Amino acid sequence: MKKSLLIIASVALNLAMNAQAGNVGINTTTPGTVLDVNGAITNRETAVAVTSNAAAIPANVSQIQLTGAATASVAITAPAAPNAGQRLIIYNNTTGGFGATLNGFTVSNGQAMEFAYSNAGWRATNGGPGGSNWGILGNSGTNPSTNFWGTTDNQDIVVRTNNTEKMRVLTGGNVGIGVAAPTTKLHVSGNGSGVVATVENTTAGQAGVDIKNTQRYFRAVTDGNGDFLVYDQTANATRITVDGPTGNIGINNNPTPTANLDVNGTARVRNIPQISGGNGTTIFVPVFQDPSGNLVKASPTGIGNIMAGTTPLITAGGTQTVISGIPNGSMHRLTVVMSNGCTQTVAAEFWVIANGSVSGGTALQGIDGFVSTLGTGGYSFTETQTTSTITWTGFGGGCSGSNSTEMNFRAAIVNNAGNFQIQITNLGNVGNIYSAQLVRVGAY
């Protein structure tokens, strides 16, 4: 008994001797605060079992451990503290992987959270509602249904490096990389000369992007051979193949294109621009198919090329250039067509040679003629080296103001300072419009 009294007296004396200006020190003679402990402090942990996904914290405890099995988020209740500022540490050690919530703050499974009693309620000291802070070393025991990284108010999420914004998630869900106002679900923007977005498979397998809606499902991929494919998942067919080693493009299930553009099936090209031949004329270059299906131009070069032109109204006795820019050293078949006001049509064909390199090499000669309503009679050619006049016989005209001469005309080839031209002279008594076509039959 005496020994116990001595120990109590010694402790009391030690506390009294260490008290300075109202401060109390334990294991120190110079307390700097109201209570200054030189050494560890222990708050005894109290185990609280979870029942029906609920846990009640007893009064007058500082640290508790939730135990037992949980099948959903655990609801925690705790009594009011006698003093504001009381601390409470809760460790969620339940099984099932669910969080435990006190006053709107969630303690993730396997994690501990400190609370302080303030403003008549328990407040988490982690600085934010909804649960524990996300740690820079990672988190464990999270529940995706209750734990998330993001905002709970109508604010964007911004990711920075070097204190400069690099990515933003808008409140509406659009994600922008390099752009602060993304206009699509994924909006990537950059102002450099390099790649702004990359899809890569480092094991030489497929790397691709899926594009789909309710009607079709496409996949753009690179395969293991370095080719690029646009694959129609809905139809189970490759629509486009770009051969990596050669750059050839295959269309419609054509995995090994052998030409720059290799189409497996029909092909159509709209609005092909024609080569200008001068004076409003155009040159049509035909293409052919070789035994392998390749499209090629005429061989030798130039054979089959077409030049065409139409005159305005040529008055009686007038002359007009209808085709210009005929290549030097070429031979053509010329067709001239004209219709009058009564829908009667005449056509005449001529051989044409443009050759200014040889004296007397340029020539034009009639071949044949046709009148849609001729019946009886015929035609005749009157020619010089470079002109051919066609006169229709047995043709009685029949249009108002016309006579039997209204369809007569003369075709000529003219060398205008190296520019070979086809000219038409109207030898009838009424104005007419003529069209002409040159088809190349000889090489340059």
In whole angstroms, give the CA distance from residue 115 to residue 233.
Answer: 54
- The DSSP letter of residue 361 is -
Give the model's pLDDT for residue 152: 79
Does residue 336 surpass a pLDDT of 90? yes
Quote the strand ranges of 52-177, DSSP E: 54-56, 63-67, 74-77, 87-92, 100-102, 105-107, 112-118, 121-124, 157-161, 164-169, 175-177
Give the model's pLDDT for residue 69: 96
Q: Out of 274-288, 332-346, 393-407, which region has the weakest mean confidence (pLDDT)? A: 274-288
Highest mean pLDDT among 283-287, 294-298, 342-346, 352-356: 352-356
Tell me the pLDDT tens digit for each residue of 4-51: 555 555 555 455 445 556 788 899 989 889 888 999 988 899 999 999
Question: In this prediction, what percent of the chain has a pLDDT beyond 90?
Answer: 44
The answer to whether the pTM exceeds 0.85 is: no
Give the model's pLDDT for residue 118: 92
Tell me the pLDDT tens digit for each residue of 137-192: 677 667 788 778 888 788 999 999 999 999 999 999 999 999 999 999 999 988 77
Number of Cβ atoms within 10 Å of the Cβ of 12 = 10
Of 110, 234, 92, residue with least CA distance to 101: 92
Give the model's pLDDT for residue 280: 59
Number of Cβ atoms within 10 Å of the Cβ of 3 = 7
Tell me the pLDDT tens digit for each residue of 185-209: 999 988 776 667 888 777 767 788 8
Backbone region of residue 266 per phi and psi (left: phi > 0; alpha: psi in -120 to 50; beta: other values): beta
Buried-exposed string 127-154: b where 16+ CB fall within 10 A, e elsewhere: eeebbbeeeeeebebbbeebbeeeeeee
**Per-residue CA distances from 213 to 175, 231, 233, 429 (Å):** 20, 15, 12, 68
- 415's tokens: 């060398």
Of 264, 266, 286, 262, residue with least CA distance to 274: 286
Q: How far apart are the first and last CA of the chain?
A: 134
